[in-house]
Amino acid sequence: MMKSRALLPLVGVAILLGIWAIVNGLKLVDPVLLPSPLSTFHTLWQGMIGGKLGADFLKTVARTVSSTAIAAVIAIPLGILLGSSEKVYRSVEFLIDFFRSTPASAMFPLFLVLFGVGDRTKISVAAFGAALVILFNVAYGVMNARKTRLLAAKVMGASRSRVLFDVMLKESLPQTFVGLRNGVSLALVIIVVAEMFIGSTDGLGQRVFEAQQLFDMPGMYAAIFAAGALGYTLNLLFLVIERRFVHWAGR
Amino acid sequence: MTRPAPRTAAKPADGFDYSHRTAPHVTIRGLCKRYTDATIYDHFDFDIPRGKLISVFGPNGCGKSTLINMIAGLVPPDAGEVLFDGRPLSRVKFGYVFQNYREALFPWLPAFDNIAYPLKLMGVSKPQRKARVERLIERLGVKIDLALYPYYLSGGQQQLVSIMRALIVEPEMLFLDEPFSALDYEMTLFMRDQLQRVFIETSTTMVLVSHDLEEAVYLSDYVLLLSRHPARVVEFVSYDAPRPRTDKTLSEPGFIATKAHCLKLFQREVKRA
């Protein structure tokens, strides 16, 4: 019973692959546009274990991870600072919400002017987008720290800095992880778009774009799947870290 | 404001003789507190006797919790003064137990570390902290696996952990704000006896806010009956049945009479428009 439940997610995958194989087998769609699942996954496998795709994959991972790391290093302390005083947060809330709502891709030209064509532009735009998402979540986590818990610490004689580090920081952790997960997803989106359009020679975005330009459909689908796997894995990774370090979340 | 002062001092179980210390423990003078829609306290005076357990009881919204929160410094009074043996609160070690144990404990620390946390704030070394928590566990006869995180414990166990956290600094006073009202009845009965045991063991002056008259009378040496706001002392009812009190206490004439007396006063207050 338990075992069959654990296998349920595979049902959807099997259905999708089945439909894909049937459509391909009956030639309902031009096979040039939709290659068979087998040739797609073969290309994915070949590309990942030694082909160009693997190198591009690693390049995108490096960019996404470094932009998220930069965003976290800036946004977490700043979020704690802003969140620990509601007045301070309210005074910059509009700015944060405004730039959070601005599509980061609209900032590419600006960052190109600032940092030139290269990794620095891609990473900094992605870091900018991710930082705002993380900042907003951390600040809210701190602001929504349970009042009773803060009072309890205060009543036990904790100083302001003790309350901040021992209570507010811990209280904000679950929300901080929500921010990190959303931030890394956003960073990946921005990095892939940047790799496609702003003068890149490598990365998954470039791979998808180039494969499409060369009409290499199996290669394009393979790169898309690689990007999907990367996004899913990053999210899962943060979930696992969260379960470990924020074991009390939701209890 | 007149009320009978306790005539005899506490005889704590630890064998020390405190009988020379008959002065009130806490003196409250001219306490005022106004919220936007009502004056809760208007020049309120009261003395809290030493080494006694007093319960604060009164109509809804009369400011029971506000009173202990002002005494414990959680809510600033508009005017007035609270002194502990003539000293301000900042020089007093006290414990506070919240109604909402779930939100008062730190879920990121195991129960043991929760209890030791106030000692950490005081700069006590790690081995010392461990020794003191273990001593307290033994003294109270607590049988909980304190290596667990609080969310693995039952409500009563969590509240017991909060009480222990309040007691670990050996406070001279303990405030309890409806500590058992979030527990089911069975657990409440058990926790009352745990608290009574703590009281007998430590003779700490305790102020308990309660909305349950049976609990208020059963646990306390005095019941402080408050009026509707602005709160006055309706009566400071003494109840001196010997401890440990048990289930039998609940059916003794003295208990029944005291409870009936308090209820009568309470209902008169509630009806007073």
CA distance A178 to A141: 10
- The answer to whether the Cβ–Cβ distance between A158 and B121 falls below 8 Å is yes
- Is position A128 within any domain? yes
Q: Which of B103, B121, B151 sits opposite A156 (nearest CB)?
A: B121
CB within 8 Å: B118 and A146: no
Range of the domain at A110: 54-245
Return the percentage of chain A with pLDDT > 90, whole number. Answer: 67
Terminal alpha carbon distance of chain B:
22
> Cβ contact (<8 Å) for B121 and A146?
no
Chain length of chain A: 251
- Helix B126-140 / helix B185-202 crossing angle, nearest 10 deg: 110
- CATH of residue A109's domain is 1.10.3720.10
Token pair for B79: 């005017």
pLDDT tens digits in sequence order for chain B, 273 residues long: 444 444 444 444 454 445 445 678 899 999 999 988 889 999 999 999 999 999 999 988 888 999 999 999 999 999 999 999 888 888 889 999 999 999 999 999 999 999 999 999 999 999 999 999 999 998 888 888 999 999 999 988 999 999 999 999 999 999 999 999 888 888 888 889 889 998 998 889 999 999 899 999 999 999 999 998 888 999 999 999 998 999 899 999 999 999 999 999 999 988 886
User: A161: nearest CA in chain B?
Assistant: B121
Under an 8 A CB cutoff, do B72 and A162 touch?
no
Residue B147 near chain A (CB below 8 Å): no
What is the per-residue pLDDT for A71?
97
Chain B nearest CA to A144, separation (Å): 12
- How many domains is chain A built from? 1
- Nearest-neighbour CA in chain B from A140: distance (Å): 18
Would the pLDDT of A174 be above 90?
yes
* B104:A247 CB<8 A: no
Mutate to test the interface with B, among A148, A167, A247 (most CBs of B within 10 A): A148
Amino acid at B157: Q
Question: Of the candidates A193, A170, A180, A169, which has an alpha carbon nearest to the alpha carbon of residue A137?
Answer: A180
Q: Residue B21 has what pLDDT? A: 56
Q: Which residue has the higher pLDDT, B229 or A53?
A: A53
Q: Report the distance separating Cα B6 and Cα A237, nearest Å.
A: 64
Local confidence band at A118 (pLDDT 50, 70, 90 cut-offs): confident
A194-204 residue pLDDT tens: 999 887 889 99
pLDDT at A1: 55
Residues 145-174 of A with CB under 8 A from B: 146-149, 151-152, 154-158, 162, 166-167, 170, 173
What 8-state DSSP symbol labels residue B105?
A: S
Q: Is B122 on the interface with A (CB under 8 A)?
A: yes
Residue count of chain B: 273
Give the residue from A34, A3, A41, A36 showing the smallest Cα distance to A18: A36
Q: Verify whether the Cβ–Cβ distance B100 to A158 is below 8 Å.
A: no
Among A23-32, A236-245, B199-208, whose mean pLDDT is lowest?
A: A23-32
Question: How many whole angstroms separate alpha carbon A151 and alpha carbon A143?
Answer: 14
Q: Residue B103: which of A146, A157, A247 has the nearest Cβ?
A: A146
pLDDT of B62 reads 86
Beta bridge partners of B83: B27
Among chain A residues, CA nearest to B72: A155
pLDDT of residue A105: 86
∠A179-A180-A182 over CA atoms, to 5°? 65
Taking the CA atoms of chain A, what radius of gyration do you get in angstroms? 22
- Whether the CB-CB separation of A182 and A164 falls below 8 Å is answered with no
Give the three-state DSSP class for A233.
helix
Cβ atoms of B3 and B233 within 8 Å: the answer is yes
Which among B75, B106, B163 is the top mutation candidate for probing chain A, defined by the most A β-carbons within 10 Å of its own β-carbon? B106
What is the 8-class DSSP label of residue B87? B
Asked if B246 contacts B227 with a C-beta cutoff of 8 angstroms, the reply is: no
Sheet holding B26-35, edge to edge: B38-48, B26-35, B79-84
Task: Enumerate the residues of chain B whose CB falls inside 8 A of the CB of residue A170.
Answer: 106, 108
